[in-house]
Chain A
Amino acid sequence: MAKEKITVDFRFRDKLNKVQGGKHHNYCYQCSACVAVCPAARFTEDFNPRVILLKALLGMEEALTGEDSPIWLCTNCYSCYERCPQDVRPIEVIIALKNMAVERQKAPASLAKLSENIAQTGVSVTITSAVNRRRQELGLPPLRTIPIADLKKILEDPQGTPEDSE
């Protein structure tokens, strides 16, 4: 049987190294400890943190940060971080890959919906009149004002591109 030719895309790995948390992918020695404790892997064969790390080591950009990437199935439970003997912090590598997918505009549409509220209003849940009414009914103090102007200033990108025009 002819040997399969394996190529590694180091350009992608360099990019991953520069994203916060991405660098630790280099330490993975494929032991599978993360798989044994991963709840997503327990419930679906479509998600396997060891395979995600292997693909990162091979530099498989499209498989990891493209539209059909399995990274979004991660439950964010931190079990892999807890267990990994190499301090790979697989969940943080997956977060770095998610950041890269967002940059490529390949993230699921629901992500923007779930995170945009914070960028625009400073809270993750929309404040409606029903929210205020329920608080009043329970005898809770009125909500404090959210410093939105300050929040927008710190989120602005260095070139002066505001977050909301991304």
Chain B
Amino acid sequence: MKVIPFWGCMMPLKYPQMELAIRKTLPNLGVELVDIDGFTCCPDPIYFKARDKIKWLTIAARNLAIAEETGLEVITMCSGCISTLKEAKYTLDEDPQTKEEVNRRLKRVNKEYKGTAKISHAVVLIRDTLGLDVVKKSIKQPLDGVTVAIHYGCHILKPSQIMHVDDADYPSILDDFVAAIGATPLDHREKLLCCGKGCMDEDLPLEMTETIFASIEASGADCMGLVCPTCFSSFDLGQIMISRKKGKTYNIPVIYLFQLLGLAQGLEPEEVGLHTHRIKADRVLEKIKESARK
């Protein structure tokens, strides 16, 4: 099936290895990515929204209007992008006065927000449209014995009345995805704790990420798995910050779940950009090699 990718900013500009993993893995699931011109930043659901919500809605509505014009389903691979686009749609659809104000602005560039776009996160497209069996069938190298501590991140789940993805308290979408890849999702105490990145304070975010690391360390997982690039920065670079500021080294590899899918589809670590991460995924790769030998 054809879908339009909405790449956002974090993936193409900061973590292009994630874009690479998507481009390498989705075609193996029968998805054709049709790149189009015209999108801008979603914009980010934290800072730009805090600056001016009407302008935040306006930029999002312009992106949504472009999505509407394509007539195809638009997928995002970033929790921030899906949060902004879905919340903007929800707000514009429930608040006609704001919709009118936003459309007055869009008229200047001959665009109109109608409310007809279909936007999903890639993991939702896989679960609901393609089916997890398609994932299972694409696996060439099952990740036997690889244990993954999942970090859900806030924005793909909450608020559930807008996101319509899963039960926000007992989610299973990412666990099921990891299981379909052939790895083992491992529960840990702080699985649903926020990474803290959106908090404009110096100490608080580090305390929150450290709480999550301690929880993952206790679980004994081989790696952390997630789908949000902002959370990724809290955890990959975040571990360097924590060893610098707090003197505690965790050394837990942080893997974007589509990179994990790529490994299971038989791609080399470099082909999904794992070599670009600060925390190297050696122990995961060793386990995969081991399982390949068997």
Contact = CB atoms under 8 A, between A and B. Distances in A.
Contacts of B46: 76
Sort chain A's interface into a size bin. Answer: 35 or more
Contact of A44 (B62, B91, B204): B204
A96 B10 contact: no
Interface string A99-139: 10010000110111011001100111101000100110011
A79 B168 CA distance: 9
A39 B196 contact: yes
Nearest to B163: A78
A68 interface: no
B51 A154 contact: no
Contact of B43 (A43, A81, A118): A118
B23 to A, nearest CB: 7
Contacts of B48: 115, 118-119, 124
B137 interface: no
Contacts, number: 163
B107 to A, nearest CB: 9
Interface stretch (A9-17, A25-33, A142-150): A142-150
A39 to B, nearest CB: 5
B35 A144 contact: yes
Which of B38, B91, B160, B194 lies at the interface centre, i.e. has the most chain A CB atoms within 10 A of its CB?
B194
A1 to B, nearest CB: 37
Contacts of B17: 138
Contact of B59 (A81, A107, A118, A140): A118
Interface in A63-78: 72-78
B35 A154 contact: no
20 contacts: A20-B53, A20-B95, A21-B53, A44-B204, A75-B205, A76-B45, A79-B158, A82-B159, A82-B168, A99-B53, A119-B48, A124-B41, A125-B9, A125-B14, A144-B37, A147-B40, A150-B109, A154-B106, A155-B59, A163-B55
Given A75-B154, A75-B194, A154-B58, 20 more contacts: A20-B54, A20-B91, A21-B53, A43-B207, A77-B154, A77-B158, A79-B194, A82-B168, A89-B159, A95-B49, A95-B53, A99-B50, A99-B53, A115-B44, A122-B41, A124-B43, A144-B37, A150-B109, A154-B108, A155-B55
